């Protein structure tokens, strides 16, 4: 099976056709996608700002991460699910859209940044949990994450203006 035949299969699927042909499904799914993306970016931004050194909570970085992580992952799972549903409605179009591809690349980079943070600075969080400013590695991870998520939102919004 080729990539284009896979994409065509998604497009021709009952789910893709149903979303595409319905007058209400696409806007509802898109609204949920945007709401979940907002929740993801908002919860990550709170942690990123703490990692950069802005302490707006009386909790340490570790507790803040532990408190927000379940909400972030739940919202991310719903954003991915709704994003996939939207993708099926025009799989070939999205797969050829530069802004969509850029959004996907930056999502991967955000995941890599998160993995690097968890494999490095987060492992020593007991040593710097309440410290302000946090160590350089944590600040770099937080600033990088914040920038990546802003770029992801930018490209995500731009998709709507470039799809035909």
pTM: 0.93
155-164 residue pLDDT tens? 999 999 998 6
Answer yes or no: is pLDDT of 131 > 90.
Answer: no
Name which of 43, 64, 45, 42 is nearest 125 in CA terms: 64
Which of 101-128 are b and which e, b meaning 16 or more Cβ less than 10 Å from the residue's Cβ?
Answer: ebbeebbebbeebbeebeeebbeebeeb
Give the chain's domains with CATH numbers: 21-162 (1.20.120)
Answer yes or no: is pLDDT of 10 > 80.
Answer: yes
- CB–CB of 153/40 below 8 Å? no
82/89 Cα distance (integer angstroms)? 11
């Amino acid at each position: 099976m080729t990539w284009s035949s896979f994409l065509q299969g998604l497009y021709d699927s009952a789910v893709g056709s149903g979303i595409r042909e319905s007058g209400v499904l696409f806007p509802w799914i898109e609204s949920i996608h945007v709401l979940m993306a907002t929740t993801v970016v908002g919860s990550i931004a709170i942690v990123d700002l703490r990692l950069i050194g802005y302490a707006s909570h009386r909790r340490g970085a570790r507790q803040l991460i532990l408190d927000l992580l379940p909400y972030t992952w739940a919202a991310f799972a719903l954003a991915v699910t709704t994003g996939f549903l939207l993708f099926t409605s025009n799989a070939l179009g999205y797969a050829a859209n530069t802004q969509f591809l850029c959004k996907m690349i930056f999502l991967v980079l955000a995941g890599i940044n998160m993995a690097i943070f968890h494999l490095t600075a987060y492992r020593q969080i007991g040593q710097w949990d309440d410290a302000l400013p946090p160590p350089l590695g944590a600040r770099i991870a937080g600033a990088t994450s914040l920038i990546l998520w802003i770029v992801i939102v930018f490209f995500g919004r731009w998709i709507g203006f470039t799809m035909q």
